[in-house]
Amino acid sequence: MKEVRECCCHHPETKEELYEALNQVLDKYERKESNLIQILHMTQAIFGYLPEDVLKYIAEEMDLPLSKIFGVVTFYSLFSTQPKGRHTIQVCMGTACYVKGADKVLNEILDKLGIKLGETTKDGRFSVQVMRCIGACGLAPAISIDGDILKHVTVNMVDDILKRYE
Applying CB under 6 A, the residues found at the interface with ligand FES are 92, 94-97, 133-137, 140, 142
Q: Which is nearer to ligand FES, 37 or 137 (CB)?
A: 137
**One symbol per residue from 101 to 140: x for binding other proteins (CB under 8 A), - otherwise; what is it?**
------------------------------xxxxxxxxxx
Pick between residue 46 and residue 106 the one whose CB is nearest to ligand FES: 106
User: Smallest distance from the beta carbon of 42 to other proteins, in angstroms?
Assistant: 10
Name residues contacting other proteins, limited to 37-56 (CB under 8 A). 37-38, 40-41, 52, 55-56
Query: How much of the chain is helix, strand and coil, in % rounded to 5?
Result: 50, 10, 40
- Phi/psi at 161 (nearest 5 deg)? -60, -45
Dihedral over Cα of 134, 128, 10, 76: its sign: positive
Q: Which stretch binds other proteins (CB under 8 A): 7-15, 19-27, 34-42, 113-121?
A: 34-42
d(CA 58, CA 147): 27
Query: Residue 129 pairs with which residues in a beta bridge?
Result: 90
Residues 11/21, Cβ–Cβ less than 8 Å: no
According to the binding rule CB under 8 A, does residue 158 interact with other proteins? no
